[in-house]
Amino acid sequence: MTDPHESNPDAAPGPLSGLVVADFTRVLAGPYCTMLLADLGATVIKVEGPDGDETRHWSPPARDGEATYYLSVNRGKRAITLDFERPDQLAVARRLAARADVMIENFKPGGLERFGLGYDAVRETNPGIVYVSITGFGADSSLPGYDVLAQAMSGLMSVTGDAQGPPTKAGVAIVDVVTGLHAGMGALAALRHREATGEGQRVQVDLLSSALSALVNQSGAYALAGVVPQRLGNDHPSIFPYGPFPTADGDLVLAVGNDRQFARLCAVLEIPDAATDARFARAADRSAGRDALRPILERALARRPAREWEELLVEAGVPCARVLAIDEAFEKARDLGLDPVVRAGDAQTPGVRHPIRLSATPPDYPLAPPAAGADRAWVLDFLRSAPPL
């Protein structure tokens, strides 16, 4: 494999520096995965069809005419537009696949085989390839891989929402996000195997399996005990109090996970009888007795506004938080020194900071999200500079 720094002098000096990722993905799960790899120094080349990534057109909102949906998951990449129906452009795609360390795709199962870009064909010219396939419901299913379908089919919607209300999807395409993280983890695991053996391999992730894994204790309740969880609104099935409670002016989320925290909560709320009540003595008792405990807590919390309670409870060591809007969440992160906004490339395009912090090789953001086909010349030059097949 040629060193991408020879053709990419501005490549980020991150832990994945020198790694070439051929990104044949679109929308969210794949682009989110490849953006995180780019933040860590990988050279990511984004391949789009003639119509471009669908999310380029998913607006409002927009920034300078570009959909923020697209901008939010595509920084750090080089972009080339290729029409696989044209032999000369298909040849470029094949050459890129032959020169990549990692190829990530989320076409419908079998969709790349007819272009000679399926795993078996790519492996013939690139035996060390780590080939990551992201599907909706596995390699044998033709069902379209939309996040909301996975939320429905996985049971996520069945446990989300008010107990008396309809099933509810999460406020973000969370299954896509989790699947993107799994894809990145799978790619790095396969690369570690290649370092040890010289062998590439195929990595397969799907939305449904990722959702079932991400349901953790809820899916585990069924797998381990045959229990089918139900919607509990904002309540937790095993912990109480654990969720939002009304105060004098708004909701306050409590997350009381043990008996010591509950005793401190009762002391701050000035309800000492609750702390010594046998019905609420242990975590399991509070969970079983939540209908009796809830009104006691609500009466006490109604005496003060949420911000005052938050200050008092945090000082006492009781986990709690006000429910913030997203703009307030960014402000809170800044107050905590987390610097949530970074700026990418010469254009200084703002975006959300990579969530991993590394002391020696931190993430970097040398490239703004590319316009469609913006790096065609760069990509072709990079491929020309690679060793011959």
The residue ranges of every structural domain in the chain are 4-214+342-385, 242-333
| E strand map for 35-188 | 43-48, 62-63, 66-67, 77-81, 102-105, 130-135
Share of the chain above pLDDT 90, in %: 95
Q: Residue 65: is it exposed, middle or buried by C-beta count within 10 angstroms (0-12/13-18/19+)?
A: exposed
Cα–Cα distance for residue pair 37/361, rounded to 1 Å: 13
Per-residue pLDDT band for 10 (boundaries 50, 70, 90) equals very low
In which band, very low, low, confident or very high, does the pLDDT at 3 lie, cut at 50, 70 and 90?
very low
The pLDDT assigned to 257 comes to 93
Give the pLDDT of residue 13: 76
What pLDDT was estimated at residue 9? 46
End-to-end CA distance of the chain: 11
Which of helix, strand or coil describes residue 135? strand
pLDDT of residue 338 exceeding 80: yes
pLDDT per residue as tens digits for the range 253-298: 999 999 999 999 999 999 999 999 999 999 999 999 999 999 999 9
Indicate whether 340 pLDDT > 90: yes
pLDDT at 11: 47
- Which residue blocks in 40-154 are alpha helix, DSSP H? 68-71, 87-99, 119-125, 147-154
We find that the CATH architecture of domain 242-333 is 2-Layer Sandwich (3.30)
CA-to-CA distance for 277 and 116, rounded, in angstroms? 70
**Percentage helix, strand, coil for the chain under 3-state DSSP, each rounded to 5:** 45, 15, 45
Contacts of 357 (CB under 8 A, 6+ apart): none
pLDDT over threshold 50, residue 6: no
Position 389 scores a pLDDT of 53
Percent over 70 (pLDDT), the chain: 96
pLDDT number for residue 387: 66
pTM above 0.85, yes or no: yes
Residue 12 has pLDDT above 80, yes or no: no
Catalytic residues: 176
- Amino acid making up residue 98: A
Distance between CA atoms of residues 178 and 294, nearest Å:
33
The pLDDT of 304-320, averaged and rounded, is 97
Rounded Cα distance, 167 and 160, in Å: 6
Q: How far apart are CA 178 and CA 162, in angstroms?
A: 24
Region 132-161 average pLDDT: 95
The residue written with tokens 């409590």 in the block is 254
Burial class of 144 by CB neighbour count within 10 A (0 to 12, 13 to 18, 19+): exposed
The pLDDT value given to residue 66:
95
- Alpha-carbon Rg for the chain, nearest whole angstrom, is 25
The answer to whether the Cα torsion of 369, 149, 135, 18 is positive or negative is positive
Q: Decide if 183 contacts 205 (C-beta within 8 A).
A: yes
What is the average pLDDT across 227-255? 96
Give domain 4-214+342-385's CATH number out of 3.30.360.10, 3.40.50.10540, 1.10.3720.10, 3.40.50.720. 3.40.50.10540
Q: Report the pLDDT averaged over residues 330-352.
A: 97
pLDDT at 187 over 50: yes
Check pLDDT > 80 for residue 8: no
- Residue 306 pLDDT > 50, yes or no? yes
CA distance 45 to 15: 18
Asked if pLDDT for residue 232 goes beyond 90, the answer is yes
Residue 1: predicted pLDDT: 37
| pLDDT of amino acid 386 | 74
- What does DSSP say about strands 20-24 and 102-105: parallel, antiparallel, or unpaired? parallel
- The letter for the amino acid at 159 is V
pLDDT at 2: 39
Q: What is the mean pLDDT of the chain?
A: 95
Phi and psi based region of residue 41 (left: phi greater than 0; alpha: psi -120 to 50; beta: remaining): left
Which of 255, 245, 267, 258 has the alpha carbon at shortest distance from 319?
A: 255
Whether the CB-CB separation of 83 and 52 falls below 8 Å is answered with no
